Amino acid sequence: MAFWSDEQLASIDRMLNPRSIAVVGATPRMQYGGRFLAAAMGSADQGVNVYPVNPRYEEVQGVQCYPSVSALPEAPDVVGVVVPYHAVLDTLRESHEKGAKSAIVISAGFAERAVDDRRDLQGELGRFARESGMRVSGPNCLGLANLKDDIWASASSRGASGLSGPIGLVCQSGASAFGPFMTRAVDEGIGFTYIVSTGNEADLDFCDFARYLLDDDDTRVIAGFVEGFKDGRKFLEVARLAAERGKPIVLIKIGRSDLGSRAAGSHTAALTGVDEAYEAAFAQYGVIRVQDYDDLLQVSNLMARCPRPSKRGVAVVSHSGGISSLTADMFGQAGLDLPPLSERAQDGINGILKGFGWAANPSDVTGFANSDEFPAIMSYMAEDEGVGTLVVASAGADPQATQVIAQRDASGMPVAFLWTGTRGAQSGLPMLRQAGIPVFYVPDKLAAGVRYLNDYHDWRERRLARGFAQAGEITDEQAGAAKALEGSGALSEYDSKALVRAFGVPTTREEVAADAESVVAAAERIGYPVALKVNSADILHKTEAGGIRLGLGDAEAVRNAFGDVTANARAFDANARIDGTVVQEMVSGGVETIVGVSYDAQLGPILLFGTGGVMVEVYNDVALRLCPITREDALEMIDEVKGARLLSGFRGAPVADVDALADVLVNVSQMAVQLEGSLGELDINPLMVLPKGQGVKAADALVVGTA
């Protein structure tokens, strides 16, 4: 619980469930100050005291107005701040003195202006909030709404008033939260516990509100729209806790392309991390990433409304063959199976259809989708072998909706609806929405949603079973070896390998030798054939420098190579420090792979695995994970890389030692965590994976320190 204190969560609690709201900068006009007051006033029926504050008015929108926060009759739970940017800090100070519990700063003009003094001002605002304990949302946000109790502390219309439901929505963009998300949710009858906009996040950020929602029993899914995380690791902690509690996080995260980052960077001043690292993190922590407004709402609703399917198979029933076949096609594309109908179910349904339609999965039940027999048809399909989810694709009038709701209630299984009619239908559709049946409007989105539903629960079961990987203790020996990094940039290949060996990565046998006879002696100890490489931390690309000779089969070859290699290296860079040469065991018969570590500013150490050589460069065929990883994570990484087929006996080659490879991935992930701060990057390329039982060997390695 390093990231959150009880006091902080209590302050958020007051902000989201206030009994009193002050609105500083309240006006009669329907601009931000006036809108905030009007929205707050709508909460008066719920017993919330609302206090306009503005020295220019005695009364605003029919309510008594106060000249200052200090003049209020009580210390408000939350203060809405709608004053010019330069007056915000004073308002916060006064509110704190009055005893206010929290504040929401609507005012803009801070870090989003991308000039230093405004960034500084925002920093000051954040510091004040943290030091005073009166926590702040914003600036440059639109506030928040509590839909459970219909209490609004926002500068928006009360557009979703009365629409409570199981989704907690947190967005950095206020105009998105109270724009498309709110209006589309109203369109579809999808309800929220809370809608929160966090703006520039001077103090409280997305993760803080998400953390609060984890403790809220009414919130079953956390939905978010994030342009950039202020603290990636804080997000990971939220995601970890969410996984433990079984509350899915569904996110739109900007950063799919550079264009989005450019826009996000300009307007919220939030950092947008490298997208690939986030993709890896989301996969590793079970976060569902979607990419549009409707997706976020529909997928969140599905996740909140449906239990875990007992099986991955889907049954699709429709009144139309064309609709059935498109739906089935999309389920196939999403990687889900429609198990063929059992004979029992076929017979049962054929007994109803009597020669019309098609008793199969997907089925085409023609007009029987709107008949008294439809419940029996649904039951046959839903109860069939291998079926965990029932999908109805239709647009029937009311009796159909009642039947589908009854089927859901009786079976307790996930039932989703593909609505194929007008979105403005007055019969059927509103009942489905009201009853919490997840409704989709196009087959591919429905199929993707059902895939998420299955994948999330399957992922969570695996994750809870294996746990999240923990950082291990560094041994004295490892700490000693890591001294090589102190004040260092790139290490030589020889030193790099020595370091990775200390952390559990087997390497080729090798010795340093600085004259021809020592080189020959070393080669005899190692055994022919050997490789000879110039040993220099200053020459990173040894091949270009002519500093490598491979496959040397006898003493004579070694002696000649020594002369060449040292001469070439000198000619390549007269100033390079050269510490003799490395005599190295040649590895043959293995599969080339690459293992690497980099550090993401937001997410920390990232482990990379790929198959070596051309495959990585041409196909970018790599798997990434945040460090550390478990052994199961390692095996999944290997599985994820297409080129890893080469490890399993491709074209008659021997099966490679995947167990040893997995060990190395785990060890390197621990190394990356333990050496964070001193290690800058690491490349083991190639890591040769030998036939099963013979282990792996790093044939080359490059360690770069942070100095």
Restricting to residues 521-540, name those near a second copy by CB under 8 A.
none
635 binds a second copy (CB under 8 A): no
Residues 175 and 191: their CA atoms lie apart, in Å, by: 18
Task: Determine which residue in the list 83, 263, 431, 521 makes contact with a second copy, applying CB under 8 A.
Answer: 263
Amino acid at 496: S
Task: Determine which residue in the list 137, 154, 172, 400 makes contact with a second copy, applying CB under 8 A.
Answer: 172
345-348: long-range pairs with CB below 8 Å, 24+: 345/380, 345/381, 345/383, 345/384, 348/376, 348/380
180 binds a second copy (CB under 8 A): yes
Region 232-261 residues binding a second copy, contact defined as CB under 8 A: 252, 254-261
462-467: long-range pairs with CB below 8 Å, 24+: 462/632, 463/243, 463/286, 464/243, 464/244, 466/630, 466/632, 467/630
186 binds a second copy (CB under 8 A): yes
**10 Å Cβ neighbour count for 304?**
23
Region 647-676 residues binding a second copy, contact defined as CB under 8 A: 650-651
For a second copy, the closer of residues 262 and 483 by Cβ is 262
Region 38-97 residues binding a second copy, contact defined as CB under 8 A: none
The least distance separating a second copy from the CB of residue 618, rounded to whole angstroms, comes to 5
Which range, of 76-84, 215-223, 569-577, 642-650, touches a second copy by CB under 8 A?
Answer: 642-650
Question: Residue 29, class by beta-carbon neighbours within 10 Å (0-12 exposed, 13-18 middle, 19+ buried)?
Answer: exposed
Which range, of 12-20, 109-117, 201-209, 530-538, touches a second copy by CB under 8 A?
Answer: 109-117
Task: Determine which residue in the list 434, 466, 645, 677 makes contact with a second copy, applying CB under 8 A.
Answer: 645
For a second copy, the closer of residues 353 and 703 by Cβ is 353
3-state secondary structure of 683: strand
The least distance separating a second copy from the CB of residue 185, rounded to whole angstroms, comes to 10
The least distance separating a second copy from the CB of residue 502, rounded to whole angstroms, comes to 32
Task: Determine which residue in the list 43, 61, 132, 173 makes contact with a second copy, applying CB under 8 A.
Answer: 173
For a second copy, the closer of residues 575 and 588 by Cβ is 588
The least distance separating a second copy from the CB of residue 324, rounded to whole angstroms, comes to 5
Question: What DSSP line would sit under 296-320, residue for residue?
Answer: HHHHHHHHHH----SSSEEEEEES-
Question: Residue 191, class by beta-carbon neighbours within 10 Å (0-12 exposed, 13-18 middle, 19+ buried)?
Answer: buried
Place of tokens 């002519």: 546
Task: Determine which residue in the list 17, 68, 183, 342 makes contact with a second copy, applying CB under 8 A.
Answer: 183
Residues 367 and 200: their CA atoms lie apart, in Å, by: 54
Task: Determine which residue in the list 103, 104, 108, 500 makes contact with a second copy, applying CB under 8 A.
Answer: 108
Cβ contacts of 336 within 8 Å, gap of 6 or more? 312, 313, 314, 447, 450, 451, 454
Task: Determine which residue in the list 87, 175, 540, 655 makes contact with a second copy, applying CB under 8 A.
Answer: 175
Question: Residue 499, class by beta-carbon neighbours within 10 Å (0-12 exposed, 13-18 middle, 19+ buried)?
Answer: buried
**How many residues lie near a second copy (CB under 8 A)?**
83
End-to-end CA distance of the chain: 32
112 binds a second copy (CB under 8 A): yes
Which range, of 4-12, 59-67, 202-210, 646-654, touches a second copy by CB under 8 A?
Answer: 646-654
For a second copy, the closer of residues 551 and 693 by Cβ is 551
3-state secondary structure of 701: strand
Region 321-380 residues binding a second copy, contact defined as CB under 8 A: 321-326, 328-333, 337-338, 355-356, 358, 360, 362, 364
The least distance separating a second copy from the CB of residue 335, rounded to whole angstroms, comes to 9
444 binds a second copy (CB under 8 A): yes
179 binds a second copy (CB under 8 A): yes
Question: Residue 498, class by beta-carbon neighbours within 10 Å (0-12 exposed, 13-18 middle, 19+ buried)?
Answer: middle
138 binds a second copy (CB under 8 A): no
Residues 286/459, Cβ–Cβ less than 8 Å = yes
445 binds a second copy (CB under 8 A): yes
CA distances from 415 to 54, 148, 166, 379 (A): 53, 26, 17, 12
Amino acid at 656: A
The least distance separating a second copy from the CB of residue 162, rounded to whole angstroms, comes to 15
266 binds a second copy (CB under 8 A): yes
Region 284-303 residues binding a second copy, contact defined as CB under 8 A: 291-295
Region 562-621 residues binding a second copy, contact defined as CB under 8 A: 614-615, 617-619, 621
The least distance separating a second copy from the CB of residue 423, rounded to whole angstroms, comes to 6
Please write down the HEC assignment for all residues of 209-272: HHHHHHCCCCCCEEEEEECCCCCHHHHHHHHHHHHHHCCCEEEEECCCCHHHHHHHHHHHCCCC
The least distance separating a second copy from the CB of residue 339, rounded to whole angstroms, comes to 11
